[in-house]
Amino acid sequence: MIEGPERIFVGKLDSPIGSVVYLTDGEALRAVEFADTPDRLLNAFLRGVGPIPVDTRRDPLGIGAAIRAYFGGDIHAIEALPATPAGTQFQKRVWSLLRKIPAGRTITYGAIANQMGTPSAARAVGAANGANPIPIVIPCHRVIGANGTLTGYGSGVFRKEWLLTHEGAHLPLLD
């Protein structure tokens, strides 16, 4: 078990591409997932921290309001949200770089590997990208294949395409 919070706050909201569920420990966002794919990350997070009280009545950080604003057109509303993803040191390095990708821009897995000083690690970057427990806020949807294609997205490539279009990316776009 990982060391977890004393209480978790769970919220759910509707978006143009499906209901979004998010978890916060009251200090930072811990997980985000679309409601039709909950086994992918949310349950893994909850298994990792063990039995924990859940509160669905409060949103102590205003996460829901920020995500609603993002889907409502303020694509920068989620940038300042505190996020504490659980993962390996390598994953956390990748996720930190993902947060630096501006809305409406894309980057390749190989380019991230190069930024990390490990040019041969594009596949490992892809695996870390796929394990991201806080999609949208840690914008793994902004990472595309070397040939400009929209490669996998845990919640469906149609959502990845929608998110990029919503942010003003012109597909395919390589930076």
pLDDT in single tens digits along all 175 residues of the chain: 455 667 788 899 999 999 999 988 889 998 899 988 766 656 666 666 667 777 777 888 899 999 999 999 999 999 999 999 888 999 999 999 999 999 999 999 999 999 999 999 999 999 999 999 999 999 999 999 888 888 888 889 999 999 999 999 977 554 4
Name every residue whose Cβ is closer than 8 Å to that of residue 156 and which is 6 or more positions away in sequence.
34, 37
148: domain CATH number is 1.10.10.10
Identify the domain containing residue 108 by its residue range. 89-166
Q: Which of 66, 30, 40 is nearest to 156 (CA)?
A: 40
Confirm whether 102 is domain-assigned. yes
Q: Which two tokens stand for residue 70?
A: 């993002």
Q: Are residues 130 and 104 in the same domain?
A: yes
- 101 in a structural domain: yes
C-alpha count within 13 angstroms, C-beta hemisphere, residue 142: 25
Residue 3 located in a structural domain = no
Do residue 31 and residue 95 come from a single domain? no
| Active-site residue list | 140
Examine the domain organization and report whether 54 and 117 are in the same domain.
no
